[in-house]
């Protein structure tokens, strides 16, 4: 089973660029939307909107609230998430290919959220 977010959640993730070094995804959702489990390699995330989300992995949960224009490094991770705010989420992910770390196991803060 693929955990590629563009496969597991194609209505929310769109591949907007890809080459041998990176893949760039655009993510959009509305309040109340929830993704299914998926994984990301090491990535840079740029927020095009402010949002409030709950990230979940196994029994671990955390809430993340980020302002528009925030840029963060995200280590490889597996999770699913829900928009628990009152605004749409609009984000760009630049996923690094090759040589990155494997997705962090479920159940710890190192595996979720901005680092």
Digitized pLDDT (tens) for each residue of the chain, 115 residues in all:
789 999 999 999 999 999 999 999 999 999 999 999 999 999 999 999 999 999 999 999 999 999 999 999 999 999 999 999 999 999 999 999 986 555 555 444 444 454 4
Rg (CA), the chain: 13
As to burial, measured by CB atoms within 10 angstroms (0-12 exposed, 13-18 middle, 19+ buried), residue 67 is exposed
Q: Which domains does the chain have, with CATH numbers?
A: 5-111 (2.60.120.10)
Distance of CA 26 to the CA centre of its chain: 10
- Check: pTM over 0.75? Answer yes or no: yes
Q: What is the pLDDT of residue 107?
A: 45
Which pair of tokens denotes residue 90?
A: 């609009």
Q: Is 8 helix (H, G, I), strand (E, B) or coil?
A: helix
Q: What is the pLDDT of residue 100?
A: 56
Q: What is the pLDDT of residue 99?
A: 62
Q: What is the pLDDT of residue 103?
A: 58
């Amino acid at each position: 089973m693929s955990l590629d977010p563009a496969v597991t959640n194609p209505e929310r993730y769109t591949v907007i660029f890809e080459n041998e070094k990176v893949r760039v995804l655009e993510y959009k959702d509305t309040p109340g939307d929830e993704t299914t489990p998926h994984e990301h390699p090491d990535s840079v995330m740029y927020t095009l909107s402010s949002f409030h989300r709950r990230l979940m992995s196994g029994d671990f949960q955390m809430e993340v609230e980020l302002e528009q224009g925030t840029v963060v490094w995200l280590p490889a991770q597996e999770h699913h998430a829900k928009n628990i705010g009152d605004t749409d989420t609009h984000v760009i992910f630049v996923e690094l290919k090759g040589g990155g770390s494997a997705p962090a196991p479920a159940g710890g803060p190192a595996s979720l959220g901005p680092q």
